[in-house]
Amino acid sequence: MGEIVGAGIVAHAPTIMMSEEDRKELNEGKEISLVPGLHRLREEVLDPLKPDTIIILDTHWHTIVEFCVTSHARRAGLYTSDELPRGMKQIPYNLKGNPELANSIAHRATEVGVRTNPIDDPWLPIHYPTVNLSTFLHDDAQEWLSVSHAYTGEPETFLKVGEGIGRAIRESDRRVAIIASGSMSHRFWPFLQIPDHESSDPIHISRPEAREADLERIEWMKAGDHAQVIDTMDDFLQHLPEARFGHYLMMAAACGGRDWKAKGRQFSDYENATGTSQVHVWFDRDGDGWA
């Protein structure tokens, strides 16, 4: 019987792929906390856990009429971002997959009411939430699957897909870590104002009310109050969370939904990236309240 061995919200901001020198130049001479946070997450969590499979809930894989999950035996190549081709270019990736688990996820998510399909097309694009995080966190022994976000999805849609993901994991023989890769509030500064707001200091988050809403939810997560996060989604959507916060909702539903009680540990500061919020919060499986 399979199980979810841990889960977390993990930021994929393009700045993590810059050189340390360039990161410090943007950040008033200081290192951003996201990069050492990723190293800690690898060393303190994933290396000891040794999950068989990592599932990335990828907020840059935009679908409309369905959810999709990668079902390749392997994805390999070089990635250059069309969004930021100067800073993210020709990044190598070589990720083993698990077609059986991917097919099961698609089947179970569809079964609970949300059309979800496995995709093994060798020309399917890969996106930088998957590439950036695998650069820091990938172990050659692990399988990596990516799940899309339907931008037409509503909170209950994401919760149902997550329910299907959780069910498929439990029916498998895999020990799985789920990474919800995306930010919280996600409103950028206007183009000409961005150079004035590149420091990681959260004072540069584009709206103070968005910063307050983010911090409130981080405290709920740290307290294990996932029901409160889920039940206040209508309010949070006013602050434009990335991908309608579908990455968090799918993760939470896979882990138990409103009954999930796991307490979060921050592996980074709460930071700004050109107006958007960035943070790593990990939920250990160390007690009750898990599916």
CA–CA gap between residue 58 and residue 243 (Å, rounded): 9
Task: State pLDDT tens for residues 7-36.
Answer: 999 999 999 999 999 999 999 999 999 999
Q: For the whole model, what pTM was predicted? A: 0.98
User: Does the pLDDT at position 287 exceed 80?
Assistant: no
pLDDT at 169: 98
Q: What is the mean pLDDT of residues 204-232?
A: 98
Asked if residue 94 belongs to a domain, the reply is: yes
User: Does the pLDDT at position 179 exceed 90?
Assistant: yes
Domain around 162: 3-284
Task: State pLDDT tens for residues 229-256.
Answer: 999 999 999 999 999 999 999 999 999 9
Asked if residue 70 belongs to a domain, the reply is: yes
User: Does the pLDDT at position 288 exceed 80?
Assistant: no
CATH number at residue 104: 3.40.830.10
User: Does the pLDDT at position 286 exceed 90?
Assistant: no
Query: What's the token pair of residue 91?
Result: 């990044």
Asked if residue 268 belongs to a domain, the reply is: yes
Asked if residue 240 belongs to a domain, the reply is: yes
Q: What is the mean pLDDT of residues 58-69?
A: 98
Asked if residue 289 belongs to a domain, the reply is: no
Domain count, the chain: 1
User: Does the pLDDT at position 291 exceed 80?
Assistant: no
What secondary structure, in 3-state letters, does the chain show?
Answer: CCEEEEEEEECCCHHHHCCHHHHHHHCCCCCCCHHHHHHHHHHHHHHHHCCCEEEEEEEEEEECCCEEEECCCEEEEEECCCCCCCCCCCEEEEEECCHHHHHHHHHHHHHCCCCEEEECCCCCCCCHHHHHHHHHHCCCCCEEEEEEEECCCCHHHHHHHHHHHHHHHHHCCCEEEEEEECCCECCCCCHHHHHHHCCCCHHHCCCHHHHHHHHHHHHHHHCCCHHHHHHCHHHHHHHCEHHHHHHHHHHHHHHCHHHCCCCEEECCCCEEECCEEECCEEEECCCCCCC
